[in-house]
Structure 1
Amino acid sequence: MCIPRAELAAKLKAGAFALVLGGLAAGTGVAPAYAQVTAFKQAIAEAASVDDAVAAFYRENNYQPIWTGADTEGQARRAALLEALGNVSVHGLPDRSVEVARLTEQMKNARTTRDVGLVEVALSRALVDYARDVQTGLLVPSQIDDGMVREKPSVDGTTYLVGMRDEQPMSFIRSLTPASPQYRALMKEKLRLEALLQQGGWGPTVPNRKLEPGQSGADVVALRDRLIVMGYLQRSATRDYDLAMESAVQQFQSDHGLEVDGVAGKGTVAEINKSVLTRLKSVIVAMERERWLPTDRGERHVLVNQTDFTAKIIDHGNVTFETRSVIGKNQGDRRSPEFSDVMEHMVINPSWYVPRSIVTKEYLPQLKQNPNAAGHMEITDSRGRRVDRSAVDFTQFTTRSFPFAMRQPPSSRNALGLVKFMFPNKYNIYLHDTPAKNLFSREVRAYSHGCIRLQQPFDFAYALLARQTEDPKAFFHRVLNSGKETKVELDKKVPVHIIYRTAVVSAKGRAEYRRDVYGRDAKVWNALERAGVVLSGVQG
């Protein structure tokens, strides 16, 4: 719930007060000034002791007030904070109108020096809580899903209080909001969807059956009406699945990561029938996820959106290269994790050093049945020496006791293809080529063991190398043709952000949505709801 400015002004007037250290009740026989100061400091120290950041700020600030002093600056800070708290739901965060009312009442009823000290700390704690939520997110990703290993940006709470003390209050409050164009676009989409909800949404759904060009009738009319309300089709009285409708369906498919064939099959119809409410949840989740990302993503960076099955190179905010990708299978420990790291090098003609989990779960059972199974793999001991299969009884080993490693030498049949892109991390995730090219033609591309496969890895390599060699293609193929496993350092390291977004606003301003492949967004929404987030615009 947003608090109108007029109402907020009335609250501030009702709760207005000023701390006069010489005595709150002059002429009534109260303690001398030094006692008042001591009582004020003691109240602050006591109240702030439960929050290390707030306590540290007041120690460094010699317990001077920033909210309750007898000056106009304190009133301006209070006004800015209460307005921010009253309007926090625009960020998809829990409504804080009850907190605004409590703080206002606490200010209004302050009678003693101790009361004012407690108000001072209450306002500071409210600012720190608000700033953390709006700048770095309400939730801790790893507590929601073990694949969401992203570490949120960490900001010392004293930084927020220093900023409020030293800067113009309203400007400082506005600076806390993520500055990314994507965040602003998502906020705009949130407002649009909330307005649509109040108007009743997108109207009746479309019967869930295949509709295609050339058909006509009531079901086609239902599709027509839905596309018109969603903004994909001009108003029309046609009952036919004509060229205009086919074009509208193609645009919808493109915006939702579907196969662009102009046919409203069951998958397309299911996405067309998604409600405004469902899309609004995706947008609010995307806003929370945007708050988790580093503020500085890198002038050049790689962005992998798992739900979109793409990998992109972004230069100064613009997509300069894009390719399809395959992500981890939606199964057990194969799901690709979400995190950020820095790409340091690529390996041309890579060997595949098989992860132990794959060795013991997939290859060991085969070796027990037939020692010559998986003949394209080398088995090596702890010193890297090749093991003679015929001299080993594999049946004696368990998944825990198996003492060997496995390696697939460089070749066109190598599981990593002919190049891999490394950003060393504890999850052993990287981007790479693959011999399984057929998977890229599929609509849902979740098949790997967790790493990200690229459809156009050579072109990806050329784009990365273009900044350090005049002819990146010639350089790459010269190394490739050697057949030798070769590490190529990147002169300038490139940040990599592996994200998971079911709602994204394109550069053209149109919201695009994707399926919740791993069910992670549903978990994030449930956690937001438990934390107090509610949907605005929902009719009772």
Structure 2
Amino acid sequence: MISKHTSKKITIALLLISIFTITLTFQSCKKSRSDMGKQLFQETKNKVFKSATPDEFAAVFEKVLAEQKDNLANPKLITAFYTQNGFDPVLSIDHILKNKIDLSSDYFYKVTQHGLEPELFQADEIEALQKKFQDKKAIKTLDEAYHDLAMLELLSANSLINYSNAMQFGIVSPRRIYARYYTETKRPDSASMSQIFHTADIKHYLDSIQPKDPQYLALQKMLTDGGQAKGMTVKETARYLVVNMERLRWKNKPTASKFVVVNIPDYRLDVMDNGHSVLNMKVCVGEGRNIDKTNTLVEYDESDKVDRPFSRETPQLNSVIHSVQVNPVWNIPQSIASKEIIVHAANDRYYLANNNIDAYKDGEVIENPETVDWSSVNKDEYSFKQRPGNDNALGKIKFLFNNQSSVYLHDTPAKAAFDNSMRAVSHGCVRLGNPQGLAHELFGNTSKYETIVKDMGEDNPDPTTIALPNKTPIYITYMTCWEDENGTIQFRPDVYGLDIVLYAHMQKIMNKKNPADQLAGNL
């Protein structure tokens, strides 16, 4: 038990430590650059810099910063940092000049290896300025020296932030370009972008943020080697690689040791456990807009930037599988009811009875649906449910996870589709090739799994909901190329046209004369 006297002493001590820490931080941020002229002369060997003073430079830098504000991707963050730190050119003096770091040659010109353009990071402008500082006779006057130092500092800060964002988060925000994208994806914030100002070693920091995912490195190697996929030109192959490398830069990857992942273009589900697939199966996904491959990455235009999803496409999302329903009742969505069920019932008076479908009007079950003239009803007044059984569209089991699109994984009586190479055939949910295998992988050899097997085998089943003992993350994603376990780069058709949308947005950013506002708009 701590006494009040002791507690008071601890509080005072903590307060003093806090004041001391704040004071040190403030002094560090406002550190004197009284030897600026000496430092700059030492690094450049240009005598003009001998007369440089912090106050005179700060006045010039503040003016240049105001003039260049519209050309910065993150003007508020950059302005706030330099205003709070007395317009000290910390990047130029303490890193670029002192450590002889050639930002353009060492990093910005090499972004082509990442499928990006050096212009995005003002590589030419920064290289030209660095060369002026390396030539001891290039800068003639002190005014020119101040202006060039201000520009080097400002361009470096802007481009380093953009480069750091690109390597760690990608240049495009998927939520901004895709209509049906519900995967949690972290984007750059002020804390992550401010790291370049506070690192002790810029080179070490830039090296540390290079993508290191083996999948990324495999695609990068094929890109830099000029690889060509079967049936594609080198150019189209490169575009495939570029968009999928961008996807791999997005911070939306699973962190759990065990998770379920569905890759839409591959029509596959994997259960991943500690980096290895412990279960793999065919799946059927929602119908897409580009099933016939009419649109490709060979050509694209401005209209490709607009994402126009087909109504039955399976969304990209992440969630957690929390339970299963064995012998589920299918609450038929209104869109399917009005466009399909009522149409079938109008053509065949016994369609509903033969398919174990109950019809409801105003929430009350209709006892004799075959007596209804379905060709003339107000479709909005009716709803439908399909009872459990062998013909139920959801099969014998469905796996539930919260999502705003009302999709789930489920069994299906329509097994023939799994024999096809193109399996974008559902209304949006994911049909499983081996649903009982997934149940076993999630439940293990438990009594709950035994109950699932028993209930799935019943002839006159009742619906049963069973909670997972360990809730399992699920990711429904979209990758059109990747490296398989044998080291071969696999390619799949862009069945939803999402590659085209992404590539068009990347080109829009990289082809802009001043991409700053485009980069800022994608944060």
Q: Same fold (TM over 0.5)?
A: yes
CA distance in 1, matches of 2:90, 2:242: 33
**Equivalent residue in structure 2 for 1:336, among 314, 319, 323:** 314
State whether structure 2 residue 26 is matched by structure 1 residue 68.
Answer: no
CA distance in 2, matches of 1:488, 1:73: 61
State whether structure 2 residue 258 is matched by structure 1 residue 300.
Answer: yes
Contact 1:342 1:494 in 2 (8 A): yes
CA distance in 1, matches of 2:476, 2:100: 38
1:56 and 1:412, CA in 2 relative to 1: closer, same or farther beyond 3 A? farther
Report how many residues are paired.
435
Q: How far is the alpha carbon of 1:326 from its aligned partner?
A: 0.8
1:287-326 aligned at under 5 Å gives the runs 287-326=245-284
Match of 2:365, as an amino acid?
A: R
**Equivalent residue in structure 2 for 1:119, among 136, 145, 152:** 152
CA distance in 1, matches of 2:185, 2:126: 29
1:59 and 1:345, CA in 2 relative to 1: closer, same or farther beyond 3 A? farther
Cα deviation code 1:368-411 (max 9, x no counterpart)? 566654332223356x5424447866556555xx1333221222
Alignment partner of 1:90: what SS? helix
Residue number in structure 2 paired with 1:12 = none
1:66 and 1:294, CA in 2 relative to 1: closer, same or farther beyond 3 A? farther
CA distance in 1, matches of 2:200, 2:457: 59
Contact 2:345 2:374 in 1 (8 A): yes
Match of 1:445, as an amino acid?
A: R
Match of 1:435, as an amino acid?
A: P
Could you tell me which runs of 5 or more consecutive residues in structure 2 were left unpaired when the two chains were aligned: 1-32, 42-46, 133-138, 290-309, 512-523
1:435-450 aligned at under 5 Å gives the runs 435-450=413-428
Contact 1:301 1:496 in 2 (8 A): yes
Q: How far is the alpha carbon of 1:514 from its aligned partner?
A: 1.9
Residue number in structure 2 paired with 1:168 = 201
Contact 1:312 1:323 in 2 (8 A): yes
State whether structure 2 residue 108 is matched by structure 1 residue 85.
Answer: yes
Contact 1:66 1:74 in 2 (8 A): no
Which 10-residue stretch deviates more, 177-186 or 384-393? 384-393
Contact 1:416 1:435 in 2 (8 A): yes
Cα deviation code 1:464-488 (max 9, x no counterpart)? 112xx64564242245468332333
State whether structure 2 residue 509 is matched by structure 1 residue 485.
Answer: no
Residue number in structure 1 paired with 2:360 = 380
Q: How far is the alpha carbon of 1:101 from its aligned partner?
A: 1.9
Match of 1:177, as an amino acid?
A: Q
CA distance in 2, matches of 1:343, 1:122: 47
CA distance in 1, matches of 2:35, 2:358: 81
Q: How far is the alpha carbon of 1:313 from its aligned partner?
A: 0.6
State whether structure 2 residue 507 is matched by structure 1 residue 474.
Answer: no
Q: How far is the alpha carbon of 1:156 from its aligned partner?
A: 1.0
CA distance in 2, matches of 1:149, 1:19: 53
Residue number in structure 1 paired with 2:15 = none
CA distance in 2, matches of 1:369, 1:436: 22
Contact 1:300 1:495 in 2 (8 A): yes
**Equivalent residue in structure 2 for 1:286, among 235, 240, 244:** 244
Contact 2:91 2:197 in 1 (8 A): no
Match of 2:256, as an amino acid?
A: G
1:431 and 1:307, CA in 2 relative to 1: closer, same or farther beyond 3 A? same
Match of 1:172, as an amino acid?
A: Y
1:320 and 1:130, CA in 2 relative to 1: closer, same or farther beyond 3 A? same
Contact 2:418 2:433 in 1 (8 A): yes
Alignment partner of 1:87: what SS? helix
State whether structure 2 residue 164 is matched by structure 1 residue 185.
Answer: no
Q: How far is the alpha carbon of 1:498 from its aligned partner?
A: 1.8
**C-alpha RMSD of the superposition:** 3.6
Cα deviation code 1:493-538 (max 9, x no counterpart)? 32222222221111221212222323332443344444448xxxxx
CA distance in 2, matches of 1:461, 1:99: 53
Match of 2:495, as an amino acid?
A: V
**Equivalent residue in structure 2 for 1:134, among 163, 167, 180:** 167
Cα deviation code 1:172-214 (max 9, x no counterpart)? 213323332211121122223x1x5xxxx7xxxxxxxxxxxxx
Q: How far is the alpha carbon of 1:158 from its aligned partner?
A: 4.1
Contact 1:305 1:499 in 2 (8 A): yes
Alignment partner of 2:194: what SS? helix
Match of 2:245, as an amino acid?
A: M
CA distance in 1, matches of 2:48, 2:488: 66
Q: How far is the alpha carbon of 1:46 from its aligned partner?
A: 6.5
Residue number in structure 1 paired with 2:516 = none
Residue number in structure 2 paired with 1:6 = none
State whether structure 2 residue 399 is matched by structure 1 residue 417.
Answer: no
Q: How far is the alpha carbon of 1:330 from its aligned partner?
A: 2.7
Contact 2:199 2:205 in 1 (8 A): no
Cα deviation code 1:278-315 (max 9, x no counterpart)? 33322222212222351444221212112211100111
1:223-372 aligned at under 5 Å gives the runs 272-331=230-289, 332-367=310-345
Alignment partner of 1:68: what SS? helix
CA distance in 2, matches of 1:162, 1:525: 29
CA distance in 2, matches of 1:519, 1:33: 54
Contact 2:104 2:127 in 1 (8 A): no
CA distance in 1, matches of 2:503, 2:446: 48
CA distance in 1, matches of 2:157, 2:352: 64
Bigger RCO (CA 8 Å, 6+ sep): 2
1:32 and 1:463, CA in 2 relative to 1: closer, same or farther beyond 3 A? closer
Q: How far is the alpha carbon of 1:351 from its aligned partner?
A: 1.5
| Amino-acid identity (%) | 25
Contact 1:57 1:158 in 2 (8 A): no
Match of 2:123, as an amino acid?
A: V
Residue number in structure 2 paired with 1:497 = 475
Alignment partner of 1:333: what SS? coil
Alignment partner of 1:461: what SS? helix
Alignment partner of 2:122: what SS? helix
CA distance in 2, matches of 1:529, 1:28: 41
Contact 1:434 1:454 in 2 (8 A): yes
Alignment partner of 2:402: what SS? coil
